A and B are shown apart, each in its own frame.
Chain A
Amino acid sequence: METREDILEIMREDLKRALQKTRTERRWGMAIDLRRCIGCHACTTGCMSENLTPPGMHYRPVREEEIGRFPNVSLRFLPRPCMQCDSPTCTPVCPVKATYKRDDGIVMIDYRKCIGCRYCLVACPYGARSADVGHYYTGEMKKQTYEVENSGEYGKVFRRKTHWHSPIGNARKCHFCIHRVEKGELTRCTATCLGHATYFGDLNDQKSLINKVIAKANTFRYREELGTEPRVIYIV
């Protein structure tokens, strides 16, 4: 039986292998084992501290879903990151190409370009995008350093206090912690998952743990019928 640390170490090795390839050769994906999710919200809080998201904005909320019909009903935890769709509905609608799909499959947002029209929020079928309207945990007058410092998202500098490059007014969403991944670190949600329900890796690498896990399990992709080809695969 592999321990949690073993699993994380295997995925880190997978990452190293993937990063040796060119960007076009790798295909980042995530698998979430819903049987293992304990609803602890560690991924949500980990993500919030990693990306310094403002109040009410969760890149990876853990939703509670009722499944079955009465009297055979049960509650299931459903973590919902951005699905990084291969055929996203959010990118074509952006009038200024502020959101786009990178060669390795990550749907990016250029905070310097986004005009805050929120058309992508309307178009996303997963409700995975949020508008940063400028809330602070401690109020406008007493805002703390952590609320305005650079989160390092997308590997760039976007401080919330400097107006020009500030993400305030923009659309924001999960980006598979691409700033961490490119440094060989796992996404924060994967690293913090207590039930080791989250797997991350290169879907093009047949030796990767994520591919092995998916191959053995019953899987589904959320609202697949829309043709969005999500890269988040749920294991049930």
Chain B
Amino acid sequence: MRFDGIVLPDRARLREAVDDIRKGRGGISLYLSLLGLLAGFLAIGCIFLLGHAHTTNTSDLVPWGIQITTYVYFVLISTGCTFVNFFGAIFYEEEYSPYASRVMFLAIVTALAAFISLATEMGRIDRMYYFLISPNPASPMFWMSVWYAADIFIIVLEYINIRRSRHSRKVMWAAFFVAVVTYGTLGSLFGAVGSRAYYYSALLPIYFLFMAFLTGGALCALVAAVEGRKTLGDGSPLPAFFTTFLKIGLGLALFAIFWRLMIGLTGHVPGSEAFGLTLFDTLFFGIFLGVVVPFLLLLATRGPVGLIFTGLLILATQFKGRMDLVVGGFRVPVFRAYDIPEVVRYTPSVFEALVVVASVSLVAFVYLVCDRSGLFEPVPGKEG
């Protein structure tokens, strides 16, 4: 099986791309992502070498911080890309096929970025093999790892199939269902925590899937719009399905955010005050900036520039949404006493913030380099 130039970048073109970067012809986005990658991986190195004690601001009151947020954010994007691939291929086969390899490539790279962020949060990454030799089937985290492995395998297979023009509908359907199960399980990992009212909800797995569709759709639309700007110019319309997906995603997100908030606010159980504490953020960033404004932008604009702006806005507000979700669960301490703060605050350290930069930069850098190397161009006589 030949991978060079089909599944992986062609060596000669990759060398050309690297030469371009060396000679300063890489473009601002590529250099920014390279800088972010260097700074981010330096911070990750510090986290591993110096330890969490000197590099992170998580604590017993806030055990999961921005690294877990980043992990959740990127795995949801990865799932969303798989959803876009599935619905694109099902409903818009001809129109969608030129974008398929990019979309699945993004699904793989975002999953990788999520892993990197997760690895920096784990206390003992060297003991991960216990997932294999001492599994606990009662734990949602164990099942998430099983489904995660299956998801990675199947999205890689789907990508290879797309690039080799041997697209299998069975693999595509399997990728869709594995993604639903995997990220539904991730939702249950939070939703099954009965001691924290902010998490404890049967709605959470559905919430995760809906948010995945929106964020994945936003990244795909952003990438398609940037690509469209290069090939079609500023004024030409892009395929309508990206906009359609985003509109559906926004509707689903509104449903999930609104009802999670309403149900949370009406609850009078210990810990449900967290919904009140995050009320402004949910209404302003989650609903107004995250749903209403992007929807109006989608109605008002048709060209790639509008879609780029909308995609970026959704991606930014969704990151804020994931932060509110993960850290929000710790705002109200489970054990209340006079000498424990009523509201727990968490500000990420510079090292933690740089892990986010590393993850974002990794996705951007790998994508841009592969794009420059012509990886997403149709294989002569095969794709498209």
Q: Which residues of B13-58 are within 8 A (CB) of A?
A: 51-54, 56, 58
Kindly identify which residue among B59, B61, B141 contacts A93, using a CB–CB cutoff of 8 Å: B141
How distant is the Cα of A84 from the Cα of B358 in the complex, in angstroms? 40
Q: A95-B142, A96-B131 are in contact. Are A125 and B339 (CB under 8 A)?
A: no
On chain B, the residues within 8 Å of A116 by CB distance are 122-125, 127
Q: Which residues of A68-120 are within 8 A (CB) of B?
A: 75, 78, 80, 89, 92-98, 112-119
With CB as the reference atom, state the residue of chain B lying closest to A136.
B53
Judge whether A134 is part of the interface by a CB distance below 8 angstroms. Answer: yes
Judge whether A135 is part of the interface by a CB distance below 8 angstroms. Answer: yes
With CB as the reference atom, state the residue of chain B lying closest to A127.
B335
Q: Are B63 and A131 in contact (CB under 8 A)?
A: yes
Kindly identify which residue among B60, B189, B336 contacts A131, using a CB–CB cutoff of 8 Å: B60
Q: A123-B193, A125-B195 are in contact. Are A118 and B63 (CB under 8 A)?
A: yes
Q: Are A121 and B60 in contact (CB under 8 A)?
A: yes
Q: Mark B101-124, 1 if CB is under 8 A from A, else 0.
A: 000000000000000000001111
Q: Are B139 and A126 in contact (CB under 8 A)?
A: no
Distance in angstroms from B128 CB to nearest chain A CB is 6
With CB as the reference atom, state the residue of chain B lying closest to A111.
B124
Q: Are A122 and B338 in contact (CB under 8 A)?
A: no
How distant is the Cα of A134 from the Cα of B53 in the complex, in angstroms? 5
Distance in angstroms from B349 CB to nearest chain A CB is 12
How distant is the Cα of A89 from the Cα of B195 in the complex, in angstroms? 8
Q: Are B338 and A94 in contact (CB under 8 A)?
A: no
Judge whether B145 is part of the interface by a CB distance below 8 angstroms. Answer: yes
On chain A, the residues within 8 Å of B128 by CB distance are 115
The range of chain A's interface size is 35 or more
How distant is the Cα of A122 from the Cα of B196 in the complex, in angstroms? 8
Distance in angstroms from B135 CB to nearest chain A CB is 7
Distance in angstroms from A177 CB to nearest chain B CB is 20
Interface residue ranges, B against A (CB under 8 Å): 51-54, 56, 58-61, 63-64, 121-125, 127-128, 130-131, 134-136, 138-142, 145, 189, 192-196, 329, 333-340
- The 26 listed contacts between A and B (C-beta, < 8 Å) are A56-B60, A63-B335, A65-B337, A75-B338, A80-B337, A89-B193, A89-B194, A93-B139, A93-B140, A93-B141, A95-B131, A95-B139, A96-B136, A114-B124, A115-B123, A115-B127, A116-B124, A119-B141, A122-B64, A122-B196, A125-B335, A129-B60, A140-B54, A169-B123, A170-B123, A226-B194
CB-based closest 9 A-B pairs: A116-B123, A169-B123, A125-B195, A63-B337, A96-B130, A127-B335, A64-B338, A95-B141, A133-B52
